[in-house]
Structure 1
Amino acid sequence: MASNNPLDVVIITGMSGAGKTIAAQAFEDLGYFVIDNMPPSLLPKFWELVRESGSIQKVALVIDLRSRAFYDQIISMLADLDNANTVRTRILFLDASNSELVARYKETRRSHPLAMDGRLLEGIKLERELLTEMKNRAQIVIDTSNMSPRQLREEIFGHFKESGDTPFHIEVMSFGYKYGIPIDADIVMDVRFLPNPYYIPAYKPLTGLDKPVYDYVMNQPETEKFYQQFIDLLWLTMPGYQREGKTSMTIAIGCTGGHHRSVAIAQRLAQDLGKKYSVDVTHRDMHRRKETVNRS
């Protein structure tokens, strides 16, 4: 591997229905390369490919132990990993009470993978027996019986988030209404009420990234009043989205063509929000021209 740091490997395992899918999503948000149920026999080849690439530093493997043979293979594989200086392994075991697991299966109307005869509780007991050794080997055990998905995510972040991790990310986007509203936007703000630089001949071929246009938009009295109230609203709401477990937000700023007003506002917004959050800014329609509509 290109880095001298060991490969960080987290094994996500535990009782079926205890929250492995939610855990996998949380690790993706933490920047882990997540693999769901790779056969243990393929792991040596996978480690080889990871080392050769040098681009993957954190891997999370979701292991669902549904048969005795699978169980024996993964235990042996973990022993080999523990003896390797280039790999650091941690096991996260997710558990829940039998009664809670039964309730979750009843709610989703799924059958337990080990309840071949349809007796749900017997399948849960068998799985718990098979997983005893894995649970004993786990460095972290989380009981999700009384946890919501958001609480489980927070618990995982608390154990595995590093100082450089930024699970919450903001995407600021400018766009033109004549090309359609972005379907992935969480918050959409229409700035077509602001004076339009398009009607000033010298500004028409420019964009909101050009200083004359940017200054023109920002120097309008209504712009500053609007902007301060809008960003105050964002400062108020972003922490709430984080508390609810949201890891990314897309804020879309739109004007008619997506060339001038929306670009300037989005650029300033990204700069200000970037003082506290991880922010990217894109200008979807800045270089698009549509001759049938003559306003930006």
Structure 2
Amino acid sequence: MSAQMEVLIITGMSGAGKTVAVHSVEDLGYFVIDNMIPSLVGKFINVMEDSHQYNKVAMVIDSRARGFYDQLDGTIATLRKRDDLNVNVIFLDATDECLVSRYKETRRSHPLSPQGTILQGISKERQLMNGLKSRADVTIDTTTLTPHNLKVRIADYFGDGAGSNFYIEVMSFGFKYGLPLDADIVMDVRFLPNPFYLPALKHLTGNDAAVQEYVMDNPSAKNFYRHFLQLLKSTLPGYIHEGKSSLTVAIGCTGGQHRSVTIANRLAADLKKNDYTVNVHHRDVDKAQ
């Protein structure tokens, strides 16, 4: 018998943290669909099973699907009868005062009371969801939880126990080709001596030992790199504590082929020595010089 597919249904009060929950389960390896209509749940799961690519799926079903919401109990009951599925329902809640405050901060109207007061919408939603809350496998009150606390709580319930999935993407690039849009930290190393102007090194890259030696033997490079590595090592635990699942560190020089590649390679190697999961990517190293 093949392994069961993990099916997670995320529901609860509007404003109680479903967006954070979606990001959290995505980081745990779930394929997530937001605002799912209950009548389509079974068909969606069958498609996922037939694809043989996903063994964990999550769906957000909430009051936005109110025209179909009365079908949800029957849908969940049908799923629980299937031997090929392990179904869990997570219900997110918060106090009325907390939900009102969050709506006022975002200046959004409540989906069940677009023309009325926020509190009226909350009251209607509680009546709609009262039965489902009592049948949920996991109920989390997010009133006093930060987004990070909620993420940790969800990982405790639905993670695989393997610990943090945090990883670091180290990339090199050339400023002449534009800044990387997805970088969290950008470091400019154009102040270092450029091997491009040496005929013996011009057509090599930072992946070659001769270029690496030229760049890293420079006293200014050694001093810079020591401080930069220490800065990253001291800040990475903070990113993890705040719930960030990945960090992209981009190292840039003029063409993205010599200095930035050298520093990126060295940085990736040293971070791996500190037990971080690291991938290194050289965006512009193969561009014509």
TM-score by length of 2: 0.91
Q: Give, as a single letter, the amino acid of the residue that structure 1 aligns with 2:9.
A: I
Q: How far apart are 1:64 and its partner, in Å?
A: 0.7
Q: Deviations over 1:174-200 (max 9, x none)?
A: 111222222332212222232322233
Tell me if structure 2 keeps the 8 A contact 1:93–1:138: yes
Distance (whole Å) between structure 2 residues aligned to residue 274 and residue 52 of structure 1? 37
Q: Which residue is 2:129 aligned to?
A: 131
Q: Which residue is 1:236 aligned to?
A: 234
Q: Deviations over 1:20-49 (max 9, x none)?
A: 112112222222111011212222221121
Q: How far apart are 1:92 and its partner, in Å?
A: 1.0
Deviates more, 1:178-187 or 1:255-264: 178-187
Q: Which of 10, 35, 38 is the aligned partner of 1:37?
A: 35
Q: Give, as a single letter, the amino acid of the residue that structure 2 aligns with 1:105.
A: Y
Q: Which of 140, 151, 161 is the aligned partner of 1:153?
A: 151
Q: Which of 201, 204, 213 is the aligned partner of 1:206?
A: 204
Q: Give, as a single letter, the amino acid of the residue that structure 2 aligns with 1:89.
A: V
Tell me if structure 2 keeps the 8 A contact 1:66–1:127: no
After superposition, the Cα gap between the structure-2 partners of 1:223 and 1:116, relative to the gap in structure 1 and judged at 3 Å, is closer
Q: Deviations over 1:228-271 (max 9, x none)?
A: 22111111001112222322211111112111111011012112
Tell me if structure 1 keeps the 8 A contact 2:172–2:283: yes
Q: Which residue is 1:287 aligned to?
A: 286
Q: How far apart are 1:146 and its partner, in Å?
A: 1.8
Q: Which residue is 1:246 aligned to?
A: 244
Q: Give, as a single letter, the amino acid of the residue that structure 2 aligns with 1:49.
A: V
After superposition, the Cα gap between the structure-2 partners of 1:195 and 1:82, relative to the gap in structure 1 and judged at 3 Å, is same
Q: Which residue is 1:16 aligned to?
A: 14
After superposition, the Cα gap between the structure-2 partners of 1:202 and 1:163, relative to the gap in structure 1 and judged at 3 Å, is farther
Matched pairs, number: 288
After TM superposition, list the pairs within 5 Å mapping 1:262-277 onto structure 2. Answer: 262-275=260-273, 276-277=275-276
Distance (whole Å) between structure 2 residues aligned to residue 287 and residue 67 of structure 1? 49
Tell me if structure 1 keeps the 8 A contact 2:195–2:211: yes
Distance (whole Å) between structure 2 residues aligned to residue 185 and residue 117 of structure 1? 41
Percent of pairs with identical residues: 54
After TM superposition, list the pairs within 5 Å mapping 1:50-199 onto structure 2. Answer: 50-66=48-64, 70-115=68-113, 118-164=116-162, 166-199=164-197
Tell me if structure 2 keeps the 8 A contact 1:115–1:123: yes
Tell me if structure 2 keeps the 8 A contact 1:7–1:86: yes
Give structure 2 stretches of 5+ with no counterpart. none
Q: How far apart are 1:68 and its partner, in Å?
A: 6.2
Distance (whole Å) between structure 1 residues aligned to residue 115 and residue 251 of structure 2? 56
Partner SS for 1:44? helix
Give structure 1 stretches of 5+ with no counterpart. 291-296
Partner SS for 1:286? coil
Tell me if structure 2 keeps the 8 A contact 1:15–1:95: yes
Tell me if structure 2 keeps the 8 A contact 1:166–1:278: no
Distance (whole Å) between structure 1 residues aligned to residue 108 and residue 65 of structure 2? 18
Q: Which residue is 1:294 aligned to?
A: none
